[in-house]
A and B are shown apart, each in its own frame.
Chain A
Amino acid sequence: MSDDGMAIDETGGGGLRRKGRGFKSRTAGESKDSEETYDRLDTKDASEQRAARSVEGWIVMVANVHEEATEEELNDKFADFGEIKNLHLNLDRRTGYVKGYALVEYETHREAKAAIDGLNGTDILGQIVSCDFAFVRPPAGGGGKPGRRDGRKRSASPGRR
């Protein structure tokens, strides 16, 4: 492959293969290098360790969903743990079959947690699904890249409750 002289990648450790015209001409993307201007949900209400609340509830990610699964079948499974406020079962744009994941929303953490505990690792339509909270809290300090800090306006949160 075209392993040119650009192999000066910080974490490359050799063997990183670069390809594409974009390395020469990159539009200054908005999301680069702006550490403070993105809206985020501050989740300070919950006592749970990792999961983060969304605006109207708690979102469960379900992976390894059968490509022929239907919303109804998933509803049947997940409604056992609480009222489902929302369910996204997205399709593969090329094939039209289920892409392989689903997102399920519950109003309470308790319901979402029960669904995760109850269905993670279980068989749905012949496939073992994985379930977990879709959103988590920012790591302490809030920055994306560890050790990186420039001009944050908010004080570093002292070890979240």
Chain B
Amino acid sequence: MADTDPFYFRYYTGHSGKHGHEFLEFEYSHGRLRYANNSNYRNDSLIRKEMWIGPLVVKELKRIVETSEIVKEDDANWPKPNIVGKQELEIRVGSHHISFETAKIGSLMDVSESEDPEGLRVFYYLVQDVKCLVFSLISLNFKIKPI
């Protein structure tokens, strides 16, 4: 049975530097969760993992996205991607489709000093919470510790 819910989630964070394009990305679409991590520091391997998650996990991911109310935010006044790096968050849920981008956030200091601390805080915590779920799933499914 194909999962026909258009719910979509993608998060990317990365930068290009002396070690090339280093990034971490995960993407959920139609029951499939993918994870890619390219770090050229000391080991230059690209890790790509994919797993098919059950409806209850999808529902939880969706709940986390919905309760964060991220779709009410707007990236218009968020720090622009820069030489240090970029983050992208694309979500399609219900009648909303957002595709936000911003600079890397080092700490909550960066959040509170930005022009839109409230919105950026929502983004910051949502990313943390989803990362936490995804890393648990990867670690339990594959027994690898994501970076």
Task: Give the interface of A toward B (CB within 8 A).
Answer: 9, 11, 15-23, 25-27, 29-32, 37-41, 50-52, 54-56, 59, 61, 63, 86, 88, 90-94, 99-101, 103, 105, 130-139, 144-146
Contact partners of A17 in chain B: CB under 8 A: 95-97
Contact partners of A39 in chain B: CB under 8 A: 47-50, 142
Tell me the minimal C-beta distance from A29 to chain B in angstroms.
5
Q: How far apart are the CA atoms of A19 and B97 in the complex, in Å? A: 7
B59 contact from A9, A52, A63, A144, Cβ within 8 A:
A63
Contact partners of A52 in chain B: CB under 8 A: 51-52
B49 contact from A9, A38, A86, Cβ within 8 A:
A38
Measured CB to CB, the nearest residue on chain A to B129 is: A93
Q: Are B56 and A130 interface neighbours, CB within 8 A?
A: yes
| Contact flag A22-B99 (CB < 8 Å), given A29-B27, A90-B136, A136-B52 | yes
A25 contact from B23, B29, B101, B128, Cβ within 8 A:
B101
Contact partners of B96 in chain A: CB under 8 A: 16-17, 19
Contact partners of B25 in chain A: CB under 8 A: 29-31
Contact partners of A94 in chain B: CB under 8 A: 125
CB of B84 within 8 Å of the partner chain: no
Contact partners of B23 in chain A: CB under 8 A: 30
Please encode chain B, from 31 to 70, with 1 for each CB lying within 8 Å of some chain A CB and 0 for all others.
1101010100000001111111111110110011000000
Closest 5 CB pairs of A and B: A22-B99, A38-B50, A93-B128, A132-B56, A31-B27
Q: How far apart are the CA atoms of A26 and B86 in the complex, in Å? A: 10
Q: Are A18 and B26 interface neighbours, CB within 8 A?
A: no
A139 contact from B2, B26, B46, B50, Cβ within 8 A:
B2
Chain B CB within 10 Å, residue with most, of A37, A132, A134: A134
Q: How far apart are the CA atoms of A140 and B32 in the complex, in Å? A: 13
Q: How far apart are the CA atoms of A130 and B60 in the complex, in Å? A: 11
Contact partners of B75 in chain A: CB under 8 A: 19-22
Tell me the minimal C-beta distance from B25 to chain A in angstroms.
5
